Structure 1
Amino acid sequence: MKIGILGSGLMGGKLGKHWADAGHDVLFSYSRSDSKLERLSKDCGGKHGSVSEAVGHGDVLLLAVHWSRVEDVLEQAGPLNGKVVLNCCVPLDTSDRDLVVGTTSSGAEELARMRPKTRWVSCFNTTPSESFAPVYARKGQDPVPQVLTYADDDGAKQIAGGLIRDIGFEPLDCGGLRNGRYVEPFAMATVELAYVQPGGPALTYRFDKLR
């Protein structure tokens, strides 16, 4: 599958690398440094270019930028009509401390308002990027860690699920985009667990129903 990465920081860079390792054709874009884009593409045999080139390249796109950069990257990306876009953004302020959208809306819903004809799927936004490499390295082993996933488009959710499994996780369906109102605050709990509490940042989780 061809994947365009819109935002090649920690999340976009690492997910793009593992997707490339899994056999996908990845094009990286939108970084503060052109040299970083060159390094990412060289390290995993992918490509790099502009946001518009990533949009044209990708059967699926990943939006992985700070919330303060969303409007800029979407302006460069264009209308995105009919595109499947995986969103791992959390709507945080510039200090990365407080949510700027919540209670009556969510970042996922705001993105859908900005680009209503896009097939949005939110995922990976409650999963620290430090977990990607060890999970990918033990792919296929039990227990499989989960990624909370929510979308209004079942077909797009299935596509996202395949890409989530390619990294080594299992998608956990959390309903529609409206449920981002509850999932996105949970991302702040995972930040506390990963980066503040002892044990290191490679945090994973799994929810099981007892029978």
Structure 2
Amino acid sequence: MKIGILGSGLMGGKLGTLWAKSGHDVTFSFARTEQKLSRLAEEAGARYGSVADAVKDADAVLLAVHWSKVDDVLDQAGDLAGTVVLNCCIPLNDTDSELVLGLTTSGAEELEKMRPDARWVGCFSTTPSESFFPVFDRKGQPTPPHVMAYGDHDDAKDVAFSLIRDIGFEPQDTGGLRNARYVEPFAMATVELAYVQPGPASWTYRFEKLR
């Protein structure tokens, strides 16, 4: 699968690296420096280029930038018509301390308004990046941790589910994109659980329905 990474920080850099290691054709883009993109690509066995390069003919695109950068990266990406876009952005203020949207809308829904012809799937926003490599190393375990994934296009969700499994997680279908109104605040709780409470930040979760 050809995957474009829009935003090559902790989230995009790690996910893109693991997808490349899983055999996908990955192109990194949108970082502070070209040197960072070059290093990521070399270490992952991937490519790097402009945002336009990354989205061209992509089977899936990951949007992984700070909320303040969304307008910039989408301007460079174009209309994204028909493109499966995995979104892990949370609508945070400049200090990352509070959500700037919620309850009556969500970051995911606002992104859909910006690019209505893209096929959006929210995922990975409630999973600390520190967990990605440990989970990948344990890939194949009987009870993998979950990643919540939500969107309105079943075929796009199928693509997301496959890429989630490639990392070693199990997708938890969390319904339509509107449910981002409730998932995005949960991401703020994961900050407490991963980074404030004692122990490593490689925190994961798994939901079970008891019989």
The corresponding residue for 1:87 is 87
Cα shift at 1:142: 2.2
Q: Deviations over 1:118-149 (max 9, x none)?
A: 00000000000000000000000122100001
Cα shift at 1:59: 1.2
Matches within 5 A, 1:189-200: 189-200=189-200
AA partner of residue 11 (structure 1): M
The corresponding residue for 2:126 is 126
Matches within 5 A, 1:27-176: 27-176=27-176
Taking only the aligned residue pairs, the percentage that are identical comes to 67
The corresponding residue for 2:203 is 203
| 1:41 aligned counterpart, secondary structure | helix
AA partner of residue 3 (structure 2): I
Q: Deviations over 1:77-128 (max 9, x none)?
A: 0000000000000100010000001010000100000000000000000000
AA partner of residue 64 (structure 2): A
AA partner of residue 102 (structure 2): G
| RMSD of aligned residue pairs (Cα, Å) | 0.6
> Structure 2: which 5+ residue stretches go unaligned?
none
Cα shift at 1:174: 0.6
**TM-score, normalised relative to structure 2:** 0.99
**TM-score, normalised relative to structure 1:** 0.99
Cα shift at 1:57: 4.5
- Could you list the structure 1 runs, at least 4 aligned residues long, displaced by more than 4 angstroms after superposition: none
Task: Please tell me whether the aligned partners of residues 4 and 57 of structure 1 are also in contact (alpha carbons under 8 angstroms).
Answer: no
Distance in 1, Cα, partners of 2:50 & 2:99 = 29
Count of matched residue positions in the alignment of Structure 1 and Structure 2: 211
| 1:102 aligned counterpart, secondary structure | coil
The corresponding residue for 1:181 is 181
AA partner of residue 141 (structure 1): Q
